[in-house]
Structure 1
Amino acid sequence: MNDIYQHFRKDEEPFIDQALEWKRVVTEQYRIKLTDFLDPREQVILTSVIGHSDEVKLGLFGGFQESERKRAILYPEYAEPMINDYQIQAFEVTYPNKFASIEHRELLGSLMGIGLKRQKFGDFIFAGDIRQFVCSEEVAEFVFFHLTHIGRVKVGLEKIPLSELHIPEQHVEIREDTVSSLRLDTVCSQVTRQSRQKAQALVKNGLVKVNWKLIEDTSYSLLEGDMLSVRGFGRFKLTNIDGKTKKGRWRLTIAKQK
């Protein structure tokens, strides 16, 4: 089982250990395990850890089919999780939208400011003046009573069913590219159509995030499932790393969010 670590980064080992422990609990105690919301990279790792196990199955859901952040259910083969088992509550924010606006970073900052970790929240939905988000049911009442302001704007919350979420239309461009290496500056150069030198400047100037974490190391190695965010150019997900060409270049499938 230790061989699994070689496929991932050193800083991902704590999450791998957690995933292995979840798997052990389901296998030995024969019961369902529900996780917090996982980002896309964590979903890739967990899927790899579970593999094609006959004893433990895996389900992922984040409130709607196209969600980016999802809760996972690990379950024995006898069980069949339903949507309600993911225990997700949706909220719509009520605020004076004629006089104030609410940005993504302000909503996230206010939710973190009431003392909850990011993993308790799923996707945020911004559609026109509509502001919605999903969270774990276990913190829903706490959020309902404690989120009274977003920035300087006084707000209220309305609990809504998942069916009333205003799911934004997905605009994704799928690209198939090849790169000489999986270094951050090399991939960044390819997805932004910039020179390697300009891509290095983007990284060193703090304009690039990998899996929502600022990375300033140009040699940082990317892996399948990573989400790459480049300020001014958008977000790119490495959906597949499909091996090498005969000339030794890496084949990539990249989803660009428009």
Structure 2
Amino acid sequence: MSIYQHFRKEEHAFIDQIIEWREQVANEYTYKLLDFYDPREIDIVQRIIGSKEEVKCAFWGGYDQAERKRAILYPEYYEVQNEDFDIVVFSINFPSKFVTLDHRKVLGSTMGLGLKRSKFGDIIIDKDAAQIIVASQVAEYVRLHFKQVGKTNVTLEQIECENIISMNEEWHEHTCTVSSMRLDVILAEVFNLSRTKVLPYIQNQMVKVNWKVTDDPSFLCHQGDTLSMRTFGRCKVKRIEGQTKKEKWRIVVAKAK
């Protein structure tokens, strides 16, 4: 049985890379520090490495509630410490009395630095405070060149992980039935919209599946997928419980409050 049958085709290259690094760690008997991964990528790494292998995996994003985390593959003798993840946290200083920052603008500014998204962890926005988490190897470059968010001038101040703002996102689960597992169908059901109203969001690249833009309304969702639609929020396909007598799918979804 091929391991690839459990994953989408576009994930196969990532799987190959993890397998290659797993072999490297096993052969060289040393740990391998990887970039920041989103929850879907973390799930893939965990499934590829498993729990019975001589090579283990660990994750850390700077704080317990982190969504994006760096990964370490390591031999079973090694004891991983948080310091091994080489994470730097910056507080973004800006005139909070006159300006508000949002996640999309801060992300746009980080991507404007010419670095890969995988070099950045969570972006944390809370009222008049904002923080970004980065890989230490690019931290000095980010500190020197991250000067603006939109039209607002900003500066960065390095802080300790203990000072990261704790953001506890609440999710509400409910069971529903859908005619198919198409992306547009599930989004319409979860956000109480018609498929006609959902379609422009998908076509205008305002929808993501597992943190990647998806512009195909007929994209088939799987159990474990995280969906997001700009201005409406996020949801997760927690479980697919099977089909009803009328051949509809009964699914359990969790929606972020």
- TM-score of the two chains, using structure 1 as the length reference: 0.89
> Structure 2 counterpart of 1:37, which letter?
F
* In 2: Cα distance, 1:226 partner to 1:47 partner: 16
Q: Deviations along 1:124-159, whole A, 9 cap, x unmatched?
A: 111111011111111111111221222222211111
User: Does the aligned pair in 2 maintain the 1:44–1:225 contact within 8 Å?
Assistant: no
> Structure 2 counterpart of 1:145, which letter?
L
* In 1: Cα distance, 2:167 partner to 2:211 partner: 21
User: Does the aligned pair in 2 maintain the 1:93–1:155 contact within 8 Å?
Assistant: yes
- SS of 2:181's partner is coil
- SS of 1:222's partner is coil
* In 2: Cα distance, 1:224 partner to 1:218 partner: 17
Deviation of residue 110 (structure 1)? 1.6
Which of 221, 241, 244 aligns to 2:242? It is 244
Aligned pairs (5 A) from 1:36-75: 36-75=35-74
* In 2: Cα distance, 1:166 partner to 1:132 partner: 8
* In 1: Cα distance, 2:108 partner to 2:191 partner: 29
- SS of 2:215's partner is coil
User: Does the aligned pair in 2 maintain the 1:40–1:225 contact within 8 Å?
Assistant: no
Q: 1:54 to 1:249 in 2, by over 3 A?
A: farther
Q: 1:112 to 1:208 in 2, by over 3 A?
A: closer
Deviation of residue 93 (structure 1)? 0.8
Deviation of residue 195 (structure 1)? 4.2
Runs of 4+ in 1 over 6 A off after TM superposition: none
- SS of 1:114's partner is coil
* In 2: Cα distance, 1:174 partner to 1:65 partner: 22
Q: Deviations along 1:186-225, whole A, 9 cap, x unmatched?
A: 3223312334555455534544221233322222112233
Deviation of residue 160 (structure 1)? 0.5
Matched, 1:214 2:213: yes
Aligned length: 256
Deviation of residue 53 (structure 1)? 3.0
Matched, 1:28 2:43: no
* In 2: Cα distance, 1:35 partner to 1:85 partner: 11
Provide the residue aligned with 1:114 in structure 2: 113
* In 2: Cα distance, 1:140 partner to 1:182 partner: 41
Between 240-249 and 147-156, report the one with greater CA deviation: 240-249
Matched, 1:15 2:14: yes
- TM-score of the two chains, using structure 2 as the length reference: 0.89
* In 2: Cα distance, 1:181 partner to 1:154 partner: 47
Identity within the alignment, %: 45
Unaligned residue ranges in structure 2 (runs of 5+)? none
User: Does the aligned pair in 1 maintain the 2:88–2:135 contact within 8 Å?
Assistant: yes
* In 1: Cα distance, 2:103 partner to 2:187 partner: 24
User: Does the aligned pair in 2 maintain the 1:90–1:162 contact within 8 Å?
Assistant: yes
Q: 1:74 to 1:114 in 2, by over 3 A?
A: same
Q: 1:33 to 1:129 in 2, by over 3 A?
A: same
Deviation of residue 90 (structure 1)? 0.7
User: Does the aligned pair in 1 maintain the 2:244–2:250 contact within 8 Å?
Assistant: no
What's the RMSD between the two structures over aligned residues? 2.2
* In 2: Cα distance, 1:84 partner to 1:33 partner: 14
